Amino acid sequence: MIATRICATLCLGMVMALVSLGVPPLFAGSAKKPVANRNLQLKNVTHNKMLFAQAASSTRDGVYTSNQAQQGKTLYDKQCATCHGATLQGAGQIVPLAGDDFMANWTGKSLADLYTTTQTTMPTSQPGSLKPEETTQLLAYILSTNKFPAGKTELPKELDNLKAIHIDKPQP
Q: Cα(123)–Cα(51) distance, rounded to whole angstroms?
A: 31
Q: Are 153 and 76 contained in the same domain?
A: yes
Q: Are 152 and 75 contained in the same domain?
A: yes
Q: How many domains does the chain have?
A: 2
Tell me whether residue 9 is in a domain.
yes
Tell me whether residue 79 is in a domain.
yes
CATH number of the domain bearing residue 119: 1.10.760.10
Q: Cα(119)–Cα(113) distance, rounded to whole angstroms?
A: 10
Q: Among candidates 123, 117, 44, 40, which has minimal Cα distance to 83?
A: 123
Tell me whether residue 32 is in a domain.
yes
Tell me whether residue 105 is in a domain.
yes
Residue 70 has pLDDT above 50, yes or no: yes
Domain limits for position 94 = 61-163
What pLDDT does 171 receive? 87
Q: Are 88 and 9 contained in the same domain?
A: no
DSSP E strands: which ranges in the chain?
none
Mean pLDDT of the chain: 79
Q: Which residues lie across from 110 on neighbouring strands? A: 166
Give 3-state DSSP helix, strand, coil % of the chain, rounded to 5. 50, 5, 45
Q: Are 153 and 82 contained in the same domain?
A: yes
Q: Are 72 and 155 contained in the same domain?
A: yes
Tell me whether residue 170 is in a domain.
no
Tell me whether residue 35 is in a domain.
yes
Q: Are 99 and 143 contained in the same domain?
A: yes
Q: Are 150 and 65 contained in the same domain?
A: yes
Q: Are 103 and 144 contained in the same domain?
A: yes
Q: Are 71 and 24 contained in the same domain?
A: no
pLDDT in tens, 91-148: 999 999 999 999 999 999 999 999 999 999 999 999 999 999 999 999 999 999 999 9
Q: What angle do CA 46, 50, 55 make, to 5 degrees?
A: 150
What pLDDT does 55 receive? 53
pLDDT in tens, 13-64: 554 444 444 444 443 343 444 434 333 333 344 444 444 444 558 999 999 9
